[in-house]
Structure 1
Amino acid sequence: MRRLVTKFAAALAVWGSVTTVALPTAAAAQSVDRPVVVELYTSQGCSSCPPADAFLGELAKREDVIPLALHVDYWDYIGWKDKFASPQHTKRQKAYASAAGRRSIYTPQMIVQGQEHVVGNHPKNVNALIERHGAAEVTVDLQLSITGNQLQVTASKVARAKTPVLVQLVRYMPRKSVQIRSGENAGRTITYANIVTDWQLLDEWNMRRPLDLSTKVSGEDPLVVIVQERGPGRILAAARLR
């Protein structure tokens, strides 16, 4: 496990305006009622990360999990620049740590449903958390549909939650292999799954009345909509189109 000790202020884990993204003409949301979101914070320059990257690839085969790989940039200095790294991913990981009262961040780290922080190469622990959150009370009923390049998002409150909540749009690349030529993983070819390429705020929803919004999208990469308490905090609902 690679750890970075840092001082930072709490920051919202949403950035910028919505990017135009695209999908096939007709699509439907996952049939799973409550998929669990698992965020992996990883780096191509981290020698401890490949087992966690492989585990995320296994999670990507499941319908009850939405696994997302967020590549961070703070290990780029040790000899290999991560091709998928983004300072926004580092910012989000720092915001999670700050919200939890922690002073350090590390790779590989998994965050389950916006709440549980666990070492990413401990599958037994992660699977137990997925099972627990998958059986939890439904807080928000979230539905997605798409026609042409228009994404429709509807949601209604089912149980009590802190408000307002953030409605976020995530895009990811399903799979990509990378030949790493220097750094701690030099000479290895590693296949990565569900690589996050964009994470945008769609709306802040006060939950006093049902949510009904639409946005234009483009491209063929899968998309995920996540409803999450501020902090970043608890993920109340997630749905995916792919």
Structure 2
Amino acid sequence: MRTLTILILLSLPALASADTLTFSSGPEQVPLVELYTSQGCSSCPPADALLSRLADEPGLFHDFIPVAFHVDYWDYLGWQDPYARPAFSQRQRDYARTPAVGSVYTPGWVVAGREWRGYFRHPAQWRSQLQHPTVGTLSATLNAAHLRVQFSGELPAHGQLHLAWLGNGLSTPVAGGENGGRTLRNDFVVLYSQALPFDGETSLTLPPVPQRDQQRTALVLWVSPTDSPIPIQATGGYLPDH
């Protein structure tokens, strides 16, 4: 396997040079629990609250990884979600082009690569959707801003490595739209994401942690085919508090 080196000439002040973090999935799949949400959607805050509660669940980052993708297609209702990105809406549309997801809506859940509609009747049963097949170990070592990633399992001929900074403890006074007048709390929000070609091993320099007044930051990595959003394996964890 060749090593792909990508240098982004930015610093990562959140980590001191002496800090070394290691993340590892183990050989069984660590599924993403993906929530497609919007601060402009009146039915989304209860789903956001459920995702927030996963911070206290056993197995966080080891048995499952929560990720909130804020979509932009409700921004026209009177409030522009500050965390929404067109790319996140596109990711949901890409899912809807697969047999795994039926349509695009919020709040929309994708657990272990498959749509979960059970949220609307049985939200406490989210764990029943988790799957843990043996797929290979995704491991990452972070030293200051330098990240090395390896995957021991099988990848399609064209694979991708996704990296995302997540923010927890975000608070937003909403001035308009369907949630106007409310202060919304959001966790596991994707503040930055990037996808890179990946053949099983890579080294790169990370961009800086976005500073959005989050109380805590996590780094999450997952691998997938280039032509599908469905994750093969994932790993990640919180950055140390400083």
One of 32, 57, 65 as aligned partner of 1:37: 32
Q: Separation in 2 of the partners of 1:233 and 1:87?
A: 15
Cα deviation per residue 1:110-157 (whole Å; 9 max; x = unaligned)? 111223343655523422102xx1xx2221211111112110101111
Name the SS for the 1:215 alignment partner: strand
Is 1:197 paired with 2:191?
yes
**What amino acid is the match of 1:239?**
T
State the superposition RMSD in angstroms: 2.5
Tell me if structure 2 keeps the 8 A contact 1:18–1:202. Answer: no
Give the superposition deviation at 1:236.
1.6
Give the alignment of 1:113-192 within 5 angstroms. Answer: 113-118=112-117, 121=120, 122-130=122-130, 133=131, 136-157=132-153, 162-192=156-186
Aligned amino acid, residue 153 of structure 1: V
User: SS at 2:110's partner residue?
Assistant: strand
State the TM-score, normalizing by the size of structure 2: 0.79
Tell me whether 75-84 or 59-68 shows the greater mean CA deviation: 59-68
* Structure 2 alignment gaps of length 5 or more: 1-5, 210-216
Mapped partners of 2:189, 2:103: distance in 1? 23
| Unaligned runs of at least 5 residues, structure 1 | 1-16, 206-210
Q: Structure 1 or 2: larger strand share?
A: 1
1:91 aligns with 2:90: yes
User: Matched residues in 2 for 1:203 and 1:192: separation?
Assistant: 30
SS at match of 1:68: strand
Deviates more, 1:222-231 or 1:187-196: 222-231
1:28 maps to which residue? 22
Q: Give the number of aligned pairs.
A: 215
Partner of 2:110: 111
**Higher mean C-alpha displacement, 136-145 vs 213-222:** 213-222
Give the stretch that moved more between structures: 179-188 or 216-225. 216-225
